[in-house]
Amino acid sequence: MSEVNEVKKIAVIAGDGIGPEVVAEAEKVLKRTEELFGHKFETEHALFGGIAIDERGTPLPDDTLAICKASDAVLLGAVGGPKWDNNSKELRPETGLLGIRKALGLFSNIRPAVIFDCLKEASTLKPEVLEGTDLIVVRELTGGIYFGEKFRRETENGQEAVDTCVYNVSEIERIARQAFEIALTRSKKLTSVDKANVLETSRLWRETVIRISADYPDVELDHVLVDNCAMQLLRRPSSFDVIVTENMFGDILSDEAAMLTGSIGMLSSASLGEGSFGLYEPVHGSAPDIAGQGISNPIATILSVALMFRLTFGYHEAAASIERAVKNVLDAGHRTGDIAVDKSSAIGTTAMGDLIVAAMSK
Ligand code: IPM
Ligand code: MG
């Protein structure tokens, strides 16, 4: 646990699209936290993603990585946009994202999907199906098909492309342990998702998760095939608590789970490694279509700060203060356009940030 007035270094990566707007609001929350709780933060801004490609010719400049490595945590807005979509692989924001995850050893990605009662009407699912949904997807982030060997080759039938999916036991063990630990802090229920009826990596995954489960006798473990999981998430989302799965399945299922809540603009995420270091970012993307208009929803980024306080700094009181402020502002009826039923009454990014800052209290 950290000392109250130890200075915490936070690397701030605003990124592309709406990234800078939402990060600016999160920085106001950091400042207000200092005033209210006496914590001290030192922020350093770094270039990353499309803007880094434009200004430095690479999505992940070395000094950005160095700033991140010298920090206690990273706050990331969003990266990417149509401007860079047709670039070669080295000059794509996504390549920077995969690179930073690998370089910082962030093997675990945690994405909570929780229904905010006052936003139930924003979901595409019926309220009675959603009732009680509060789940976390724990996604393996630095292995599998994302990082396996990729190449093309000429064959007698024309060109062929190959993506390899590789997992070793230790990669599976560490993510499994982390998921069991998270399950212990919640309702002690863990669902491991794989495709063990087809894939060898999934069979190793399942065997390994079962072996690790011996160390967590209090956690109830079950195994669900990924296709079935995708279906059950729509049918009975409240039956899940913690889901642990490999990189690619986690990518897909975490988007599905996020969208259940109808509030992708509200959801935060953490990418963690072995220690307390973490990278925190909203689940939503850079939303280039609304960038620069001041209408984006800063709540996911603000809640990512709360997640940072909890998981990296152990500042639980300050985290609760942010979460409470968000709830109060929403309960008072304030909405940005993405979550407003009556769009004409929607407020802008800075107005939402200001309301949340004003609602924070000790
Ligand atoms: C995510 C994104 C990334 C991923 C893309 C942008 C490379 O979809 O963080 O989920 O697939 O991991
Ligand atoms: Mg994704």
Query: Ligand 1 in contact with 134 (CB < 6 A)?
Result: no
Distance from C-alpha of 353 to C-alpha of 134, rounded to nearest angstrom = 25
pLDDT score for 2: 47
Q: In this structure, which residue's CA is closest to atom 8 in ligand 1?
A: 251
The one-letter amino acid at 107? F
Q: In this structure, which residue's CA is closest to atom 1 in ligand 1?
A: 251
Q: Which residue has the tokens 């998760």?
A: 209
Query: Ligand 1 in contact with 256 (CB < 6 A)?
Result: no
Q: In this structure, which residue's CA is closest to atom 12 in ligand 1?
A: 251
Residue 62 falls in the annotated catalytic set: no
Structure tokens at 101: 């995850």
Element (DSSP H or E) covering residue 153 = strand 150-155
pLDDT score for 4: 54
pLDDT score for 9: 98
Q: Of 101, 251, 255, which is best to mutate to test ligand 1, by the most ligand atoms within 8 angstroms of its C-beta?
A: 251
Ion ligand 2 — residues with CB < 5 Å: 251
Strand 150-155 and strand 268-272: the pairing is unpaired
Catalytic annotation, pick one of 120, 195, 280, 338: 195
Q: Name all domains of the chain by residue range, CATH numbers in brackets.
A: 1-114+267-362 (3.40.718.10), 124-260 (3.40.718.10)
pLDDT score for 3: 52
Taking the CA atoms of residue 327, residue 328, residue 331 and residue 334 in that order, the dihedral angle to the nearest 10 degrees is -100
Residue 255 falls in the annotated catalytic set: yes
Distance 84 CA to ligand 2 centre (A): 17
Catalytic annotation, pick one of 54, 222, 227, 289: 227
Task: Express each pLDDT in 292-331 by its tens digit.
Answer: 999 999 999 999 999 999 999 999 999 999 999 999 999 9
Q: How far is CA 256 from CA 251, 261, 263, 275, 283, in A?
A: 9, 9, 12, 29, 11
Q: How far is CA 89 from CA 94, 163, 231, in A?
A: 8, 15, 33
Is a pLDDT exceeding 70 seen at residue 186?
yes
Q: What is the DSSP string of 261-302?
A: TT-GGG-EEEEE-SSS-EEEEESS---TTTTTTT-S--HHHH
Is a pLDDT exceeding 60 seen at residue 1?
no
Distance 137 CA to ligand 1 centre (A): 14
Burial of 292 (0-12, 13-18, 19+ CB in 10 A): exposed
Whole-number CA gyration radius for the chain: 20
Mean pLDDT of 78-103: 95
Q: Could you tell me the pLDDT band of residue 261, with boundaries at 50, 70 and 90?
A: confident
Residue 280 falls in the annotated catalytic set: no
Query: Three-state DSSP class for 322?
Result: helix
Binding region: 81-94, 101, 111, 139, 227, 251, 255
Q: Which residue has the tokens 């106001």?
A: 28
Mean pLDDT of 56-63: 97
Binding region for substrate: 101, 111, 139, 227
Q: Could you tell me the pLDDT band of residue 121, with boundaries at 50, 70 and 90?
A: confident
Structure tokens at 245: 């799965």
Residue 72 falls in the annotated catalytic set: no
Query: Ligand 1 in contact with 97 (CB < 6 A)?
Result: yes
Residues 6+ apart with CB under 8 A from 279: 68, 73, 74, 76, 100, 101, 104, 106, 270, 271
Mean pLDDT of 18-27: 98
Contacts by 55-60, CB closer than 8 A, 24 or more apart: 57/91, 58/90, 58/91, 58/96, 59/91, 59/92, 59/93, 59/95, 59/96, 59/97, 59/99, 60/95, 60/96, 60/99, 60/100, 60/103
Q: For residue 348, give the DSSP letter.
A: -
Query: Ligand 1 in contact with 110 (CB < 6 A)?
Result: no
Alpha-helical (H) ranges within the chain are 19-37, 50-56, 62-69, 93-103, 127-130, 169-185, 200-213, 226-235, 247-260, 299-308, 316-331, 349-359
**Are the C-beta atoms of residues 8 and 39 closer than 8 Å to each other?**
yes
